[in-house]
Structure 1
Amino acid sequence: MHWIMSFAPIGVYALILPVVYSTGFGLFANLGKYVVTVVLALGLHLGVTMPIVLLLVARVSPKRHFAAVKSALVMAFSTASSSATLPLTMECVRDKCGVSPRVTSFTLPIGTSINTDGTALYECVAVMFVAQVMGAHMGFGEMFFVVVAALLTSVGIAGVPHASLVAILLILKNSHIENAELAVGVLLAVDRFLDMSRTAVNVFGDTCVAVLVARSEGEATLVR
């Protein structure tokens, strides 16, 4: 494994080189725009969409909820693995949010596998970016297929780093985009940071669902 990891940067360079040769160095400017787009989209979902759900549906203060689960979010961001963060997520939701062990042990393990909203969002942006880089035009029908495919493939995806790249490649193949493997190789150059970001969003979404289910069951949570 150490031998493989030592050659990984060389492998990423070899994957990026053919794409740069065919598209030019303007690819790096587009890659920067891609990173900004993903981060803004994840930030909007984390900072606007889910707090609205907490406030209006669960009747919970988003600020206090965020403070209660922040250690799990930091763990998720640093490891880029929702599975590795699961024990800490359950501890935060149970002990700091006041959700019962019954709801915690049911919602969070399932949410780690199927409630990957950050991953689904990331896959949509990634496929659109690759299509534009490779010069493939996508109409409304093709874009709708990408959204549906991203939602379906994000369900049950492994909670480990870079797992979504497999789903992205699958969507690109079914969208009939040529040289998809080379384009996905380009995403590896920036995927680590984006993987960390979307994992934090996934975990925050899991905690929101757990609190929402607890409130629907009539539980008096600590965070209000």
Structure 2
Amino acid sequence: MSLSSKNSKGILAFYQKNLFAFILIALIAGVGVGYQLPQQAGLFTWMGELFIRGLKMVIVPLILSSIISGVSNLGQSNSLGRLTLKTLGYYLITSLLAILTGLLLVNLIEPGVGAPIPSTTESLPELSSEGASLKDTLLRMVPSNVFAAFSQGEMLSTIFFAVLFGVFLTKVNEERYRTVLSDFFNATFEVMMGITMLVILFTPLGVFGLVVDVVAEQAGDTVRLTQMAASLGKYMLTVIGGLIVHAFVTLPLLVLLLAGINPVQHFRAMLTPLITAFSTSSSGATLPLTMEALEHKAGIPNHIVSFTIPLGATINMDGTALYECVAAMFIAQAYGIELDFWQQMVVVITALLASIGAAGIPMAGLVMISVILNAVGLPLEGVGMILAVDRILDMMRTAVNVWSDSCVAAIIAHSERKSIHNAA
């Protein structure tokens, strides 16, 4: 390997490791440029537009490949036995509780009301406050032309088709299964994750362009700038409040009531992986530490840990699901879109499915929020409103993801011991 190649890899590794710092620098620079040079903002705003287009580009193929790969792999493993169904059930319950917690808080606090939005999307004609009925939602879910649904970014249709495809892929013979899954969808998912990570690397430039755009519009208007900062602060507090309620009230109660375990002792046993998850923003990178802590410090049997935790790191994203729900509602409030009950249920269901498809890597939720915005007809440009504070929230929600995995492992271990005792 040449010296220049080593240097290039070293620079890239340094950049990836310190991406949050570069995003913060871009945020500050964007505020400065937008405020001081509002007339020249057009020279920089194209960066934000290009970043948004990059996110749009990866959404459909990433979701399609990740859900098909995940569902079909799960279907082939252990023939979806009792332990699998039980684990899936608890994971879905904890994620749903997290989403409903976020939904309740964001409706009570309404952090997006009064938040300034970019003029490029203030008057989008397709944004309507008219509610969609349950019938309309169900009709949108089943595509009349699946390829048209892909090309138009219809996420409910795409997710529905991907789940169906993944389920029935497990029904074909072994040779065809391996050819279609291993040689195509697993590989496609890996390729799309690589492209997604490439897009994420350009987040600082995207943040810079989007912030320049927003601040330039408000330059000289101190009131609106203050409103923007206040709304973003309320948004952060809403997400953090939801994460705290779920992590320190909901999950401990489940551990205490369903597993008979002291949640404080269980938390102490998980302290090292939780700190690691917070600092790395990656549940995947924390996986070995989580398994070691559960088995050797929390006393969870190895066969439970080795099954539930890798599965949880793949599909159980309570913190991410809560964040996605709050972020979507915040953007809807900012644009003055009043989502009715059924539209909010679409947000809940899509957040649940999107969190399952989210990868255990830093900022994966940033891509998944795009799925929810598409599902309820909100502008993807709204992502620019929350980019600046995404990383610190990412650290917190990742820790909640790992904490939830450990709590479910404890509950499953208790239920398995009880089942064995009753069978004897």
TM-score, length basis structure 2: 0.49
Secondary structure at the aligned position of 1:155 is classed as helix
Q: Give runs of aligned pairs for residues 107-186 of structure 1, distance below 5 A.
A: 107-178=308-379, 180-181=380-381, 183-186=382-385
- Rounded to whole Å, the distance in 1 between the matches of 2:405 and 2:281 is 15
Instruction: Give the Cα–Cα distance (whole angstroms) in 2 for the partners of residues 163 and 3 of structure 1.
Output: 17
Partner SS, residue 200 of structure 1: helix
Moved over 6 A (4+): none
Amino acid at match of 1:136: I
Q: How many residues align?
A: 217
d(CA) in 2 for partners of 1:3, 1:210:
35
Asked which structure has the greater CA Rg, the reply is: 2
Counterpart residue number, 2:213: 18
Q: Kindly indicate whether residue 399 of structure 2 is the aligned counterpart of residue 200 of structure 1.
A: yes
Contact 2:347 2:375 in 1 (8 A): no
Contact 2:312 2:405 in 1 (8 A): yes
**Counterpart check, 1:78 vs 2:279:** yes
> Which amino acid is the alignment partner of residue 204 of structure 2?
P
Instruction: Provide TM-score, normalisation by structure 1.
Output: 0.91
**Which AA in structure 2 matches 1:197?**
M
Task: Give the CA deviation at 1:16.
Answer: 2.3
Task: Show the 5 A alignment for 1:15-54.
Answer: 15-21=210-216, 24-25=224-225, 26-54=227-255
Instruction: Between 60-69 and 24-33, report the one with greater CA deviation.
Output: 24-33
For 1:172, what is the secondary structure of its paired residue?
Answer: helix
For the aligned residue pairs, the C-alpha RMSD in angstroms reads 1.9
Specify which structure has the bigger relative contact order, considering alpha-carbon pairs within 8 angstroms and separated by 6 or more residues. 1
Equivalent pair of 1:118/1:198 in contact (CA under 8 Å): yes
Matched, 1:216 2:411: no
Classify 1:29/1:75 alpha carbon distance in 2 versus 1 (closer, same or farther; 3 Å): same
Corresponding residue for 1:106?
A: 307
1:138 Cα shift?
A: 1.3
**Aligned equivalents of 1:199 and 1:205: distance in 2?**
10
Cα deviations by residue, 1:97-132 (Å, 9 ceiling, x for unpaired) = 111111111000000011111111111000001111
Aligned to 1:58: 259
Alpha-carbon distance in 2 for matches of 1:135, 1:21: 21
Report the 3-state secondary structure (helix = DSSP H, G, I; strand = E; otherwise coil) of the residue aligned with 1:57. Answer: helix
Residues 20 and 27 of structure 1 are in contact (CA less than 8 Å); yes or no, is this contact kept in structure 2?
no
SS at match of 2:338: coil
Indicate conservation of the 8 Å contact 1:12/1:186, yes or no: no
Mark the CA change 1:47 to 1:189 in structure 2 (over 3 Å): closer, same or farther.
same
Q: Percent identity?
A: 49
Contact 2:276/2:286 (CA < 8 Å) preserved in 1? yes
1:179-221: CA deviation from partner (whole Å, max 9, x where unpaired): x22x2123120011100000000000000111111111118xx
